[in-house]
Amino acid sequence: MDREDIIRMAREAGWISEYDSPTGFCAEAAFKFAALVASSEREACAKVVEDYCGAWNDEGYALAAAIRARS
């Protein structure tokens, strides 16, 4: 997810309109919110992989680390 994706999604959600500047306060809040949501989702996915695969071998832990590294 890049900056343009976040702007597009913020517009779809009604946070900013097509007339707002993508560097305005509302857009910056949307960027921060998107980063927090993405981080939380990465951690949740990593935890699922760790809990499911980690018990059997180290590959689960390596996969979880790779997911967490996607920031």
The structural domain count of the chain equals 1
User: Which structural domain range is residue 21 located in?
Assistant: 3-69
Q: Read off the pLDDT of each residue in 41-56 and give the average, rounded to a whole number.
A: 86
How many distinct helices (H) and strands (E) make up the chain?
A: 3, 0
The size of the chain, in residues, is 71
Question: What distance in Å separates the CA atoms of residue 71 and residue 14, rounded to the nearest whole number?
Answer: 25
pTM for the complete prediction?
A: 0.66
Asked whether the predicted pLDDT for residue 61 surpasses 80, the reply is yes
Asked whether the predicted pLDDT for residue 15 surpasses 60, the reply is yes
Q: Which of 15-19, 49-53, 60-64, 65-69 has the lowest mean pLDDT?
A: 15-19
Neighbours of 14 (CB within 10 A): 7
